[in-house]
Amino acid sequence: MADDGRGAKRQKTSGAEMDPKANPYLAHHYEEESNGYSNGYSNGFSRSKKASSTVFDNLIRHQTSSKDAEVAENGPNNAFTGQPLSNRYFNILKGRRNLPVHTQRQEFLDMFQKSQILVFVGETGSGKTTQIPQFVLFDDMPQLQGKMVACTQPRRVAAMSVAQRVANEMDVPLGEEVGYSIRFEDKTSPRTILKYMTDGMLLREAMTDNNLSRYSCLILDEAHERTLATDILMGLLKEVARRRPDLKIVIMSATLDAQKFQKYFKIGEDPAPLLAVPGRTHPVEIFYTAEPERDYVEAALRTVLQIHATEPEGDILLFLTGEEEIEDACRKIGLEADELVREADAGPLKVYPLYGTLPPAQQQRIFDPAPPPHKPGGRPGRKCIVSTNIAETSLTIDGIVYVVDPGFSKQKVYNPRIRVESLLVSPISKASAQQRAGRAGRTRPGKCFRLYTEGAFKKELIEQTYPEILRSNLSMTVLQLKKLGIDDLVHFDLMDPPAPETLMRALEELNYLACLDDEGELTHLGRLAAEFPLDPSIGVMLISSPEFYCSNEMLSLTALLSVPQLFNRPASARKRADEMKELFAHPDGDHLTMLNVYHAFKGPEAQRDPKQWCHDHFLSYRALQQADNVRSQLKRIMEREDLELMSTPFEDKKYYENIRRALVSGFFMQVAKRDGSGKTYITVKDDQSVLLHPSTVLAQEAEWVVYNEFVLTTKNYIRTVTAVKAEWLLDIAPMYYNIEDFKQGEIRRSLQKTADTLRRKEALKAGKSRK
């Protein structure tokens, strides 16, 4: 059982002697001896000596009231650590008691105690993410069970920052009683009773512990965002709940689409109980345009400037779709605003960009206060934040009074028919539009300017954003589900089941990767690949890399492929950046180039001052650092799974060839062949015409290439490409490159020719050896 190790560890580090009496799993053997258990719970429960003198002695699990909790919270000692509470704690406590959720604490407890599953709806600003898990702690008392409460978040940043906040609120150091766990980073200890984690991490844990037995209560936060992992978790929890009646589940959502959750988690024939807490929001007036806009970016800029020139004090939030668009808009608004200041005596305007790949320090700047007036008594300054949809839900910026919403965002799409997963600019949903508008009413009544007509809002926007599960390649998910012990994928009860073709394609891909056999059963390789928090094709590539004598290199490369953009290419210094990239370029392709970068980064010259070195070479220090971190995490898994780490000697002329062969072992389904006449390539099997992404270092002569990404724009691009050879394809992935399966054409002819040549060579060799 997974807990045994953990339980033992918990005892060791909490300083207790290795007395069997202190072992929580043996506690029931000493029931009569254990004092202070007069309150009704007996078997299986234990506590460390340290915690035994707490307020919980007088409370009965799942029978507490908000009053009890408040008394416990009032101190003077920390209910969980026994330590005296700090002043800061009491200051924060005052604020917490003012949150909207606090008034409904008793109501929450009543429902929580009565029902196994509860749906909780709270608008942003209600305090649900920080408070509900604490409400649960005081009633569920996981520390007495040797269990934990987990609260999932869709985003890593949210998991980290909320954990920090709650650690402060509970007056404990982060990583002790309150911790977090995200991919490639685990900040918890054996003392941890409340764990914030990404939904993906919880799913990963479920793979080794199908009943999630470490937890006494699971809280799925931001369920309305419907991430892939949340959807799978919900499907899973429906089954776990049946197997573990002691497990409490709280589904938290920000929108009023709660009936869907209630219905999905129905208990018998009744919908799951619902508790709704109003948020603390002000009314927002919504304006539409009279006519559809010809250019939404231009219209957005115009609107921002108009607001600045004519509307009273208050900050502006403008939603655009991506980094480039945002940076461009920021520059233009800045210039125009300067003119407004000069010519129309407008107040100063500070413009900040906000997007996911922005360095955290720069992200932090959005919280700077608006600039003061130019001169005392002058018109007040304001700030304008130009953001992707991360400001829609995950980040809350106070002071926003005006929201400009052009109605677009970049959304992931996946289509199993051409196997392309890409980010495309798409219209948002009505729910998204409402969410955006709501951002204007955080501090006082606000205004939202929608850059489309009311008719377009009603007719063109879908009700809800499609959940991620409908927009994703599911091969990794299918592998996880298999590992979770869910065999009947066809009837697995998902809230929004994907199109059958998506599952079909995922199964097919896993079969070609030899992760699933023809019966759909998990193979040894599949089981192994599921251990890696990676796309199965990359996982398989990593697992088979020792066969190509380059597992060290593939480990680095895998890490590099799982972090964002490595190369910086600022608009102001494109040429210089390209020259720098040229230093690392390998003529055979981008993967090898990335590897060269990493090796240089780890070299002594760069390590003397890595930050400066990255800056000089137009590389992202953050990305490389992150890659380093990912690499060590993956390395640990490699070692755990007994996968040999090795390298071909660098002097060996096969050094790079081995790496390219290893690439084929994972990426053989992402191959394109040059189309006779020149620049275009044709993707294998899907027959899509593609161009090499302009960022590639690959010389144009390569006949066959593997690619990391199919980018869908008005043109089709393949990005991060490396040259390979047709004979490797036939040799390494014979199942996929079964020539009979190909339709007539250039690709089949070329493969046939290669196969014929190989056969002749073999025959020649055999003939020779016979002599």
Partner 1 sequence: MEDNEEDDYMNMIIAEPARSEKETSIQRTARKRREARERGFHKTKQEREADAAAARDAALSTSLNTSNKGFKMMAKLGYKPGTTLGKAEHARIEPIGVVIKENRGGIGHDSEKKRKIRGELEEAAKRVKVEEVGYRERVRQEREEKRVGGQLVGAQKIAEGLDMEADQDAAAEEDDGTTKDSSRVPLNKRPLGSINVLWRGLIKSRLEKDVERRMRADMQQSLSRLPTYDNPTEEQEDRDAYAKKQTANEFVEEDLFDEDAELNEFQELDAGERLDKVVMYLRKTYHYCFWCKHRYENTEMEGCPGLTEEEHD
Binders in 267-296 for partner 1, by CB under 8 A? 289, 291-296
Bridge partners (DSSP) of residue 403 are: 317, 448
Minimum CB separation from partner 1 for residue 495, in Å? 7
Q: Is 721 in the site for partner 1 (CB under 8 A)?
A: no
Q: Is 707 in the site for partner 1 (CB under 8 A)?
A: no
Site for partner 1 in 312-371 (CB under 8 A): none
Is the Cβ of residue 176 or residue 405 nearer to partner 1 in the bound state?
Answer: 405
Site for partner 1 in 484-543 (CB under 8 A): 487-509, 511-512, 516, 518-520
Q: Is 567 in the site for partner 1 (CB under 8 A)?
A: no
Is the Cβ of residue 336 or residue 421 nearer to partner 1 in the bound state?
Answer: 421
Determine the interface stretch with partner 1 among 6-14, 267-275, 408-416, 645-653 (rule: CB under 8 A).
408-416
Site for partner 1 in 180-219 (CB under 8 A): none
Is the Cβ of residue 80 or residue 710 nearer to partner 1 in the bound state?
Answer: 710
Binds partner 1 by CB under 8 A, chosen from 240, 481, 595, 712: 712
Helix then strand then coil, % of the chain, to nearest 5: 45, 15, 35
Binds partner 1 by CB under 8 A, chosen from 453, 596, 629, 647: 453
Beta strands in 146-294 (DSSP E): 148-153, 178-182, 185-187, 194-198, 215-220, 248-253, 274-277, 284-287
Binds partner 1 by CB under 8 A, chosen from 174, 219, 470, 606: 470
Distance between CA atoms of 34 and 135, rounded to whole angstroms?
Answer: 27
Site for partner 1 in 115-154 (CB under 8 A): none
Is the Cβ of residue 211 or residue 688 nearer to partner 1 in the bound state?
Answer: 688
Binds partner 1 by CB under 8 A, chosen from 31, 460, 605, 644: 460
User: Residue 604, preceding bond cis, omega within 30 degrees?
Assistant: no
Binds partner 1 by CB under 8 A, chosen from 408, 532, 567, 668: 408
Binds partner 1 by CB under 8 A, chosen from 52, 113, 394, 415: 415
Pairing of strands 400-405, 382-387: unpaired
> Which of 310, 308, 304, 311 lies closest to 329, judged by CA?
304
Q: Tokens representing 346?
A: 């407008």
> Which of 565, 358, 325, 317 lies closest to 425, judged by CA?
325
Length of the chain: 771
C-alpha distances in Å from residue 684, one per residue of 432, 516, 669, 690, 751:
38, 22, 8, 11, 11
Kindly report the CA angle at 411 between 707 and 120, in degrees rounded to 5?
Answer: 130
Is the Cβ of residue 584 or residue 736 nearer to partner 1 in the bound state?
Answer: 736
Q: Is 710 in the site for partner 1 (CB under 8 A)?
A: no
Minimum CB separation from partner 1 for residue 500, in Å? 6
Is the Cβ of residue 227 or residue 562 nearer to partner 1 in the bound state?
Answer: 227
> Which of 59, 139, 129 lies closest to 107, judged by CA?
139
Binds partner 1 by CB under 8 A, chosen from 338, 687, 703, 762: 687
Residue type, 316: I
- Residue tagged 């003529």 (tokens): 587
Minimum CB separation from partner 1 for residue 582, in Å? 27
Minimum CB separation from partner 1 for residue 512, in Å? 8
Q: Is 451 in the site for partner 1 (CB under 8 A)?
A: yes
Distance between CA atoms of 672 and 5, rounded to whole angstroms?
Answer: 48
Alpha helices in 394-448 (DSSP H): 430-438
Binds partner 1 by CB under 8 A, chosen from 700, 714, 744, 769: 714
Is the Cβ of residue 215 or residue 414 nearer to partner 1 in the bound state?
Answer: 414
Minimum CB separation from partner 1 for residue 262, in Å? 14
Is the Cβ of residue 298 or residue 578 nearer to partner 1 in the bound state?
Answer: 298
The full DSSP string for 734-771 is TTTT-GGGSPSSHHHHHHHHHHHHHHHHHHHHHHHHH-
Determine the interface stretch with partner 1 among 96-104, 270-278, 423-431, 524-532 (rule: CB under 8 A).
423-431
Is the Cβ of residue 146 or residue 406 nearer to partner 1 in the bound state?
Answer: 406
Site for partner 1 in 643-682 (CB under 8 A): 676-678, 680
CA dihedral sign, ordered 747, 752, 753, 758: positive
Is the Cβ of residue 4 or residue 460 nearer to partner 1 in the bound state?
Answer: 460
Q: Is 427 in the site for partner 1 (CB under 8 A)?
A: yes
Distance between CA atoms of 147 and 140, rounded to whole angstroms?
Answer: 10
Distance between CA atoms of 689 and 695, rounded to whole angstroms?
Answer: 18
DSSP letter at 347 equals P
Minimum CB separation from partner 1 for residue 736, in Å? 11
What is the total count of residues that contact partner 1 (CB under 8 A)? Answer: 79
Which H helix or E strand runs over 412?
strand 408-415
- Residue tagged 């407004």 (tokens): 340
Q: Is 265 in the site for partner 1 (CB under 8 A)?
A: no
Q: Is 382 in the site for partner 1 (CB under 8 A)?
A: no
Binds partner 1 by CB under 8 A, chosen from 78, 388, 426, 551: 426
DSSP letter at 267 equals B
